[in-house]
Amino acid sequence: MKIYSVKSGDNLYDIASVNEVLEKDILDDNQLSGSPDLVVGQPLVIRDSFKRQVTVNGYAFPYIDYDVLNATLPYLTYISSFSYGANTDGTVSLIDDKNVRDMAIGSNVAPLMVVTNMDNNGFSSDVAHSILSDESISDKLIDNILSTVKERGFAGVNVDFEYIYPTDKDLYNNFIMKLSNILHVNNYILTTALAPKVYADQPGILYEAHDYNFHGKYADYVILMTYEWGYSYGPPMAVAPLNQVERVLNYAVTEIPSEKILMGIPNYGYDWTLPYEKGTRAKSISNIGAIELARSKGSVINFDNISNAPYFNYTSDGTEHVVWFEDARSISAKLNLVSKYNLGGVSYWQLSNMFNQNFIVLSDMYRVRKV
C-alpha cells in the first residue's frame, strides 16, 4: 500500500491510471462511492500495482440485465456487442445496443462492434460465401462497417465469421486484410474470433478457413474460442477442459504473437440427462445456477483433475443427470495459462450471468487494462 495526495485537476480515472490500479479498488479502499468530489491534498490509500496487466474482453447481448452489466464493467477492457449481421448485399443489420454502449463508455470500457455471418438459422456458410466471393459486396460491407463504427462510437470491430467454406479461406483472409487496413487508418482496432485449432491444416468446416498466422498479422487481438468441447448436442464433458485448451495454445503461440491472443473462457455449463443418447440436447446452465442446483439436490461437487473442471450428478423424477460447469478452481487454472503462455489476456463468452467468483479470481491475479 502507498498514500497518494490528490493534486489540482486530478480525477479518479487519472489517479487509477497513473498508479496502475482499478478505480473500484480506490473507491473500496478509501470508503468512497460513485464519482466522489476529491479535495486537493486529500490522502488516498493506493494498492501496490505489482500484478501483471491483461486485456479482458466480454461478449454481451443488447438485452443483458443492466445490473449484471454494471457489476461486470469494472473488470473489462472491451465489451463486444453481439451481433451486427453482415448481409449478402453488403449492408449491416443493426441492433439496439445503445444502452450497452453508453454504459460501457461511462465505465471506461471500449465497445466493439461484433460482425457475424449469421442468418435466421445461425452461422451461415452461404452468407459468408456470397459476401466474400464478390469484391464489390465485400467492399460495400467494409464501408458500412466503418460508417456504423463512426456513427455509434465504437472503438473498433470484432469479426466473428464461422463455418466458412474451406475454399473461401483466401477470400476471407483478403477481407480481413482490407478491413484491418481501413480500420487502422481511421484509428480503430480489429479483433477476430477463431475456432480452437491444434494444427494448421486441421480438417473441418469450422477450422479450415481460419488462418491463425494471417489473423495474427492483421488483427490487434485474436480471440480463441477455447470452449464447447462439451456442447449442447455432444456427450457430457467439461465445456473447456484445461488439457484441450493447452493443446490449442501450444499451437496458437507458434502462429500468433502471444501478446495478441485472448483466450476464450466460457461463462456457463451444461446439464445432460443420462445415459447420454446421441442427438439429445443438454440444457445450458449458469455457474451459480449449477451450484444452487447441486445444493438443492444434495449433490457432492466433484473435481476432475485432467480437465480441471467441476461436475456433479443428481436425479430428477427418476432420471439421472450430470452437470459440468466452471468454479473458482477451474477459472484459476485457466487464468494461470495467461502467464504461462504470455497471452494478452482473456475473452468471456458471454456476460449474461454474473459469476462473482470469476472476477474475484481475475482481479486477485491480474490488473485489467483500461483504454
Supply the residues annotated as catalytic. 162
* Residue 3, CA distances (Å) to 23, 123, 151, 223, 345 in order: 15, 52, 42, 38, 29
Cis peptide before 275 (omega within 30 of 0): yes
DSSP class per residue in 205-226 = TTTTT--HHHHHHH-SEEEE--
H or E stretch at 88: none
Beta strands in 17-121 (DSSP E): 43-46, 52-60, 78-86, 92-93, 110-116, 118-119
Quote the CA–CA distance of 91 and 192 in Å, as a whole number: 20
Which residues are paired to 4 by β-bridges? 44
- Helix axis angle, 356-365 to 328-340, nearest 10°: 30
How far is residue 149 CA from its own chain's centroid? 19
Which DSSP letter does residue 168 get? G
- The answer to whether 24 and 42 are in contact (CB under 8 A) is no
10 Å CB burial of residue 64 (0-12, 13-18, 19+) is buried
- The answer to whether 42 and 4 are in contact (CB under 8 A) is no
